[in-house]
Every structure is written in C-alpha cells, then in structure tokens.
Amino acid sequence: MTPALRRIGRFLLPLAISMVLMLAIWYLFLAVFPQVGPRVGKSPQDVWNYLFTGPASGTARSNLIDNLQITLRDAGVGFAAGMLAALAVAAVFVVFRSIEQTFLPVAMLLRSVPLVALTPIIVLIFGRGVVGVAVLAGIVVFFPALVMIMVGLRAAPRQSQELVEAYGGSRWTALRLVAIPAALPSVFAAARISKPPVR
C-alpha cells in the first residue's frame, strides 16, 4: 500500500467507525426508549426517506439548504464581529491597565449572565433579523476570545517590545509590531474554540 493510500485510510477509517457507532447508538436509543413517539424519534431510514427518496424530498432539501445558508450567514457575521471586538478590546486592555482593571470585572460579570436571560433584551434592542442574531453569536464568541487573546498579547517577548520603545516607538507601535504577531497562535486558538453554535 502506498503512503498516500495509507494516509487516506488513516483519515477515513476513524470517520467510518464514528458513523457506524453514531447510527448504532441512534437505533439503540429508539429501541430502548419506545415512549419517544414517531413524531420526534425518527430513525435514520426515516431521515433518508425524508431527504432523498420521499415524494417531497426535493422541497425538503431545498428548505434545509436555504435555512443552512441563513444560519451560516448569521453565525459568520457574529463570529467575525465577536473576534474583531475581542481583538480590539484585548489590545486596549493590554496597553491601558487602568481600563482593564475598570472594565474587565464588568465584562466577566456580564459573561456570567445566561444568554437565555439576555436574549429578550437583545431582541428588543436589535430585532430578530441578522443584526440581532449576529449580536448573540458575537457575545458567544467575544468573552472566551477576549481572555485568550489577552494572554497571547501579554506573552509577547518583553525585550522586543523594549527595543521598539528604545527606538522611539509608542506602546501601540510595540503592540502592532511585536505583541500582535506573537499572539497569533492565541488568536487562532480563540477562533477555534469560540465558534458560535449552529442553531
């Protein structure tokens, strides 16, 4: 077997095992809990018929794709807005420690408020359209990203920042030339863990 086929097999084998296990658990759950009625507890065969072989499968697929596009758009806008806001606020907090000491406790307090409790207020302010959904997704992304990006910015080499300052650069210049490039792994890690959930 060639190395390329071996790599493909190493990727596909766990995927196939996961799919088989997922289907087995699905069937087992429906068998163990018969009180879950057919309106709620659809089997994999029912889902396949609904999407591919049923009389209205074309309409079902079209509706599913349309709703998926709406979800991806809203989640994408919220993700981008949350990450940009987290990066900007983290930069301000790192440069101005007094602002961080003033507002970071407030941010952490707001983070402890359940999103379910904030949702009616956000809907009243921003409506139920793209902006409201984007604000909700941005809130989900913002707080974990803020903390991780701040840690990454603070981990920048101090000697490099002092070198920039010795040549007359401001704290913002040191942040732009040293801290932000050094924090890129933290930014990407924050992006990975902060993805908004698909609704």
Assessment of whether the complete model's pTM goes beyond 0.85 = no
- Does a structural domain hold residue 94? yes
DSSP string across 38-105: TTT---HHHHHIIIIISTTHHHHHHHHHHHHHHHHHHHHHHHHHHHHHHHHHHHHHHH-HHHHHHHHH
* Residue 162, pLDDT above cutoff 60: yes
Largest CA distance in the chain: 74
Alpha helices in 96-179 (DSSP H): 97-111, 115-126, 130-154, 158-166, 171-174
Mean pLDDT of 170-191: 89
Mean pLDDT of 170-193: 89
Mean pLDDT of 166-178: 87
User: Residue 86: what pLDDT?
Assistant: 93
User: Residue 82: what pLDDT?
Assistant: 92
Report the number of distinct structural domains present in the chain.
1
Q: What is the CATH number of the domain that holds 148?
A: 1.10.3720.10
* Residue 49, pLDDT above cutoff 50: yes
- Does a structural domain hold residue 55? no
- Does a structural domain hold residue 145? yes
* Residue 196, pLDDT above cutoff 70: no
* Residue 17, pLDDT above cutoff 80: yes
172 vs 50: CA distance, rounded Å: 57
- Residue 111 lies in domain: 69-193
Mean pLDDT of 60-76: 90
- Does a structural domain hold residue 38? no
Comparing 1 with 24, the larger pLDDT belongs to 24
User: Residue 197: what pLDDT?
Assistant: 52
Radius of gyration of the chain (CA): 24
Quote the percentage of the chain above a pLDDT of 70.
Answer: 97
Long-range CB contacts (< 8 A, 24+ apart) of 27-32? none
- Does a structural domain hold residue 51? no
**Mean pLDDT over the full length of the chain:** 87
Model confidence at 199, pLDDT cuts 50, 70, 90, reads: very low
Quote the percentage of the chain above a pLDDT of 90.
Answer: 29
* Residue 195, pLDDT above cutoff 80: no
- Phi and psi torsions of 2, nearest 5°: -75, 160
115 vs 107: CA distance, rounded Å: 14
* Residue 7, pLDDT above cutoff 80: yes
- Does a structural domain hold residue 91? yes
81-138 residue pLDDT tens: 999 999 999 999 998 989 888 888 888 888 888 888 888 998 899 888 888 888 888 8
Q: Quick check: 165 and 174 in contact, CB under 8 A?
A: yes
- Does a structural domain hold residue 174? yes
81 vs 135: CA distance, rounded Å: 8
* Residue 161, pLDDT above cutoff 90: no
- Does a structural domain hold residue 58? no
